[in-house]
Each structure stands twice: as C-alpha cells, then as structure tokens.
Chain A
Amino acid sequence: MGYVAAKGGFDAIQAAETLVRRRRIEGRSSWLELDQIVDRLRYSVDRVMGEGGLWDEQLSARAFRQAEGDVIEAAHLIRAHRSTLPRFGYARVVDADEIDVLRRIVPAFREPPGPQLLGRTLDYTGRLLDQTPEDEGRRQAAEAAANRRERVVSTQVSADEPTVDQRVPGRLIDVLRNLDALVDRRRDDDPEPVDISRVAARPGAPRSARLSTMARAETGALVQLWYRNILGPDRNLHEVTLGEVRHGRLPIEVQNPLTGETVPIGSVRVTEVEAIEDLDGVEEDRTRFDVGYGICLGHNERKAIAMANLDVAVDRAAGDGPLEQSVLMTTDGLDASGFLEHLKLPHYVTFRSMMERKTAMREAAGTKRQERLAQGRSDCEVTDVSGDAGAPVEREDVLR
C-alpha cells in the first residue's frame, strides 16, 4: 500500500530528466563525436580522468559530453561507474623512472643532466584570442589532417623527435642526492600504497594516502589551498623551486595469475613534479633540501605542482596544524560540490526545529526580564526586546 500523492516526486524527476535529455540529445547542432572530444578538448578529458581516478579517454569523453562540459559532474559519472566494476587485482608498482617523456623541464638548473624538453605547452603561446574565420579554420584542419596522413605513410622519424635516451632522462633529485644536498626520507620497508577508494584516509594516514587523495583532488581546490597558504592567513607554504616537471607515458603491467609473468597491458599519461624545498626550520637540517612529490593522471601541471608543494609542506608540519586535514578532507571535488549543492534539498524539518528554539530562547529571555523587573531593576537594554532574543552579547551565539 502507499498513498497516491507520493507518485508526484517520481513524475517530477522524470520530467526533469526529459528536459535534460532533450537538450543533450536533440541540441541544435550536429552530434558531438567522442573522437572530437578526446582529440580537441584534451585538457578537459585529462581532468575528468584525473579527478575521476580512472584512465579511459573514451569513457571520460563520454562522461564529459553527458555532463555537458561540467568537469566535476563528469568526474562523478566516472567514479560512480567505477563503483559498479569488480576489482580483479592490482597492477605492479611501476617505477616512475620508466616514464617515456613527452615534455620535461628543470627550472632549478640551466643545463640539467638530461634534456630540457619544452614539448607541448601553452606556457609561451601568446594568450591572444584566435579569431581565424571558421571557414579558414576548417580548411587548415583538413589540410593538417592530410599532411598527417602523408607523414604516417612515409613513417619517417623527423629530426627533431627526441631520441630514446632523451625520452628516459635521469632525475635532478639523484644529482642532488649525490651531492648530499637532500635529507633522505626514503624508507627501507616497502608498504603497499593505501587504496583511498577502499580505505577512508584521515589525518595520520601514510604518505601514499595523501598523494592519492591529491592525485584525485579537484584541480581548483588544490590550487586554491596552495595559494591560500602562500598568500592567505594560513601561511604553511614556501614557494618551492621546481626540480622536475614532466609529462609522459608510464607503462601499466599486471602479473599473469597463472604463469606469474609480468604482462604489459597499456600505458597512462601522467604529469609528474618534484619540488625542492628549502629547509629553514629551527629543528630542521638547514644544510640540506627536502623534496615534495606530485603526480596525477593526464596533463595537468597546475595540479601536480600544487600537490608537490603541499606534500612537502604537510610532511614538514608533521601532524601539527590543520594543513594535513585540509589536504585529506577538503580537496575532493565531489565531496565539496555534493555537500554544497545538498543545501538545495528541502530542509523544512530541521528549519522548523530551529524556529522552535528561537521561540524558546525568547521566552527564556522574557522570563529573565520579568524576574529582573520584579526585582525592581531598570535596564533599558533588557527592555528593548521587541523582536530579538536576549541581550546583544547573545546575538552571535544565536546566529551561529
């Protein structure tokens, strides 16, 4: 049994879904192909994969299209999809030195060991709005596509392609280590990384949980937390010197459960950052540097840099102060947006309870006033209670 009026909510959400679907599917333009999104909206797709915590360009493009370009919404679709999938096992832990770089810069030295490979970056593109007419743009795209086919057919390696050695460069951190310029935080045991999709990370969590949390965090949240600590009231951060900024491919390998052999199953693109921190605390080793680490799926340097700086800052704070909690608990895009938007849900039951306490406080204040009047005191502040509760000092608590 049920009561009939309860069907209203169901009808309303179905109607809302119809409105959503109508614009999403009908639109007023031609259908948006997944290839186009993967190919032309690369940074968005990378962000969806990074914040969704799943490497799949086609699925992420699909989510991005379904979310009509809302990155957090798309990341939500990807993560909810993940929840439905069984987990068969874990990939082998991969050494980040196996990276095949597409871009690598070392701001700390003019000529570091290995290449400075500028690669594909927006950093030095003039930030001028491209006003090429649409027809001309289409013509250029078609021409470029034709040229590309030609290049592929000729299979010629162009002279400016980096060689294999350059693709797998050494690390600045090793140079510094050899110079004995770094404190060594490496550990001898080799604990399994914390899987934050299965364990709730909370302050005191191992570093791997902190890094995983930031790798999945909302980009804007990390940037904001970084900037707030640089310029805002928190001041937990110093500006670091970047030792490595890389974008490249890392192999993914699993162990064949039957033969025990390691089998490559593909690769993921990552952005990796090492940030050099000047230790200047009284208790710290002032003769050396420390290093923070950032890595995330896709090409997202903003995020990886903020992450590396926050990583070392949390470590230096060593559980003192709120930074670790801020990193672990407040940077997830889905958590923050979901909770913010839940304010749109009905709250009339709770609001009614709040109204009732306001009345109770006024009555209590009125009783007090009468008691005081009965004692023959005159107090103009107390008599002025036409609307609000109690004396002015109470106001702040009432509203909190």
Chain B
Amino acid sequence: MTLADVLATTGPAPASEVAVELTPILDESAKREIRRAVLTAIAVPGYQVPFGSREMPVARGWGSGGLQISLAVVGDDDVVKVYDQGEDGGVNAANLRRLIRRSEGVKTTTDAREASVIQTRHRVPEDELIADQILVLQVPVPEPLRGIERDMNELRRMHAEADYARMWVSLYEDIVRNGVITRTTGYPCLVDGRYVIATTPIPRWDVPPLHQAKFLSLFGAGREKRIYAIPPYTDVEPLTFDDVPFEVEEVSEPCRCGLICPGDEQGAYLVELPAQDGTSQWVCSDTDWCTRHRVANGVLGSEALDDADELW
C-alpha cells in the first residue's frame, strides 16, 4: 500500500478542523516554570538551568525540550517555523509544528525571514536572522563535557569553577593522534568567556553565526531537563588553539540549485544524495532557502512558493 492509497481511502482531516480548536499541551503553571528557567538561562549565558520538564505528546529525545520552550514563549502574534535537519517537510518537524499550532493557535511559516520563533533540530537557518527573532534549538545531549567525565557532581563542579582544563587536554590529544580536531557536530564553544556549551548537534558550519548574533538562542533538553541560552550580542568562541583554525564542513561541489557554490558568499551547508551508481549530488540542507534560490534562478517555477500556511 502506498501513501496515495491510504489517502484515497480515508483522506486527511479537513484543514479547517485543524486550525480551529485549540488543544493546550501545557498549563499556565508549567509555562511559568519554563519561563523562569529561560530567564535564568539568559542571565547566566551558557549555564544549564535545571527545570521540571513536563512530559509532552512527543517522546523524550524527539524535541520535547524545544517544544516546551516554544509553547512557553510564543504568543498570539508570533509566527512559528519548525524544521528538522534544515527540512520543513520532515515528519517530525511537521508533527511539532502541528502541535504548537493546535496548542497555541499561532501562525506558521517555512520562511525563516518571516518567523518570529524558529524551532529547529540540528540547523541554524542560512538566512541571516535579525533582532528580536528567537531560535529554539532541540538538544539531545546538553552536557559538553560528558565525553570526558560522566559523574554529574564532578561535572557540576567543573562548570561552577570554569575548570575546563581536561577539555583542552582532550582537544590537544585529538590533534596529536588524528592530525585534526575530530569533533563533528555539537562543537564545544565558550560562551561569554565563561561557560562551555554543547552547540546541540548543529554542524560546525552553523557555529560562527551564533557569535555576536542579533537573535536570542534558547536550547531545550527535555529528557535531561536542562535549558540554556545565548543572548544576542554575546561571544561564542569554538574551542580551538591559536595555531589550529576552527574548520567548518567544506564541500567542493555546488548544490544542484545551481546558484550556490560553497566558498562563495552565499555558501550553504550541503548534504550528500548518493545514487546507486556511486555518483552523488549535493544539495542545501536548508530546503526553504534552497527552494527560494531555485525559483530565483529559474530552475523552479514560482508555483513552488505558495502561501501554504493554511495547509497545515
């Protein structure tokens, strides 16, 4: 059976039903608790604030922390974008978007430039975000030092005393053994010169836009019950050595959208689409951004962009 068969026999619920009736997910008291944790996180940039973390209609590890933050911060006038790995059409993104919409009655969009709140899993939008936009990042593992220390009391002490010596040693050993720093995504960064954070697992490509950004970043780890933040205009420095430059992911191929070549000013984070014959194509992981460029480039017709807001 295919998707089309299922839809043909039953059909999805009418879109109008989806938009009208609100199904609140969090009560006022839970929202207040999350809001207080968010405020502490902003006042102490990079510190992982513990919070109660309610169970959400999505499983722990599936964006429950980001979802709680989004539900606690959005208001009637907000326009929300939710995307996953850069893709608005991903099933988990669609599910979270639907839940936020049904709970809070907000408008949604796929265009990062129109969104006031952007919930994301593992990407920062390629568009340059502006002041008063809020980026909500879903975090599976908030503890940047877990690879070098497991004991939670010791981890607390290390953060409290800003004792990151063992982190530096591990990076140094990495270079000695492997010739490069092998950290992939979630690259450890020093925030405001004080706390080391895990930059979720966003690619290294997305780390520089966090430094002295105009927007506010809120990180939600629902399963581990932690919230942390990077306020706007805050230093975010990837941990590296003076003579070992921080490296982002480079690709020597252009995206199939044609316009964007990595390395030029409009470079983007590309992912590989391998084919059976051993060849591969490269595409932007940020699908909305890519679509807009392909329309501008004439590769796609303008019907690819649509006021699709009411569709889901």
A positions within 8 Å CB-CB of B? 1-16, 18-19, 22, 76, 79-80, 82-87, 197-200, 202-204, 319, 322, 325, 329, 334-335, 337-342, 345-350, 352-357, 360-361, 364-365, 367-368, 389-390, 393-394, 397-398
Binds A, one of B150-158, B190-198, B208-216: B150-158
| Complex alpha-carbon distance, A373 and B33, angstroms | 62
Which B residues touch A2, using CB under 8 A?
88, 108-111, 288, 305-309, 311
Shortest CB distance A339–B (Å): 4
**Inter-chain contact A10/B201, CB cutoff 8 Å:** no
Question: B65 to chain A: closest CB distance in Å?
Answer: 11
Q: Bound complex: CA of A91 vs CA of B258, how far in Å?
A: 65
Q: Report Cα–Cα, A364/B28, bound state, in Å.
A: 54
* Assembled-state Cα–Cα distance A9/B121 (Å): 15
Give CA–CA (A355, B52) in the complex, Å. Answer: 36
B231 within 8 A of A: no
Given contacts A4-B303, A334-B55, A394-B177, whether A349 and B271 have CB atoms under 8 Å apart is: yes
Of B126-134, B159-167, B179-187, B235-243, the stretch lying at the interface with chain A is B179-187
**7 new A-B contacts at CB < 8 Å, known A13-B95, A338-B62, A350-B122:** A12-B94, A13-B94, A80-B56, A83-B26, A87-B27, A203-B152, A353-B201
Distance in angstroms between the alpha carbons of A197 and B24 in the assembled complex: 18
Indicate whether B60 reaches chain A with its CB closer than 8 angstroms. Answer: yes
With a 10 A CB-CB cut-off, give which of B28, B249, B269, B311 has the most chain A CB atoms: B249
Give the residues from 28 to 73 in chain B that come closer than 8 angstroms, CB to CB, to chain A: 28-30, 33, 50-57, 59-62, 64
Q: How far is the CB of A2 from chain B (nearest CB, A)?
A: 4
Q: Judging by beta carbons under 8 Å apart, are B185 and A5 in contact?
A: no
B53 in contact with A200 (CB, 8 Å): yes
B86 within 8 A of A: yes
**Cross-chain contact B223 with A339 (CB below 8 angstroms):** yes
Q: Cβ of A393: which chain B residues have Cβ within 8 Å of it?
A: 177
Q: Are A86 and B89 in contact (CB under 8 A)?
A: no
Cβ B180 vs Cβ A335 within 8 A: no
Q: Could you tell me if A354 and B61 are in contact, using CB atoms closer than 8 angstroms?
A: no
CB nearest to B110 among chain A residues = A2
Q: How many A-B residue pairs have CB under 8 A?
A: 249
Complex Cα–Cα for A322 and B140 (A) = 22
Which residues of chain B in 282-305 are interfacial with respect to chain A, using CB atoms and an 8 Å cutoff? Answer: 285, 287-288, 291-292, 303-305
**Chain A: minimal CB distance from B291 (Å):** 4
B226 in complex: contacting residue of A197, A200, A349, CB < 8 Å: A200
In the complex, the answer to whether B178 meets A397 with C-beta atoms within 8 Å is yes
B84 is an interface residue with CB less than 8 A from chain A: yes
Complex CA gap A367/B3 in Å reads: 50
Task: Say yes or no for B102: interface residue by CB 8 A criterion.
Answer: no
B225 proximity list for chain A (CB < 8 A): 200
Instruction: Compute how far the CA of A16 lies from the CA of B92 in the bound complex, rounded to whole angstroms.
Output: 12
Q: Contacts of A339 on B, CB cut-off 8 Å?
A: 60-61, 140, 223
CA distance A357 to B182 in the complex (A): 6
Alpha-carbon distance between A319 and B272 when the two chains are bound, in angstroms: 47
Distance, CA A393 to CA B176, complexed state (A): 12
Closest residue of chain B to A3 (Cβ to Cβ) is B291
On whether the beta carbons of A76 and B59 are closer than 8 Å, the reply is yes
Give B99 Cβ to nearest chain A Cβ, in Å: 11
User: B223: which A residues are within 8 A, CB to CB?
Assistant: 335, 338-339
Residues of B within 8 A of A329 (CB): 152
Q: Which residues of B contact A79 (CB under 8 A)?
A: 54-55
Q: B10 at interface (Cβ–Cβ under 8 A)?
A: yes
Give the chain A neighbours of B311 by CB distance below 8 A: 2, 7, 10
CB of B185 within 8 A of CB of A353, answer yes
Q: B307–A345 contact, CB under 8 A? A: no
B172 in contact (CB, < 8 A): no
Docked-complex contact B27 and A348, CB < 8 angstroms: no
CB atoms of A11 and B3 under 8 A apart: yes
User: In the complex the two chains form, what is the Cα distance from A335 to B55 in whole Å?
Assistant: 10
By beta carbon, the residue of chain A nearest B13 is A14
Instruction: State the Cβ distance, A346 to closest chain B Cβ, in Å.
Output: 5
| Contact indicator B308/A356 (Cβ below 8 Å) | no
Q: Which of B55, B95, B184, B202 is A354 in contact with, Cβ under 8 Å?
A: B184
Type the 1/0 row for B239-278, where 1 means its CB is closer than 8 Å to any CB of A. Answer: 0000000010110000000000000000001111000000
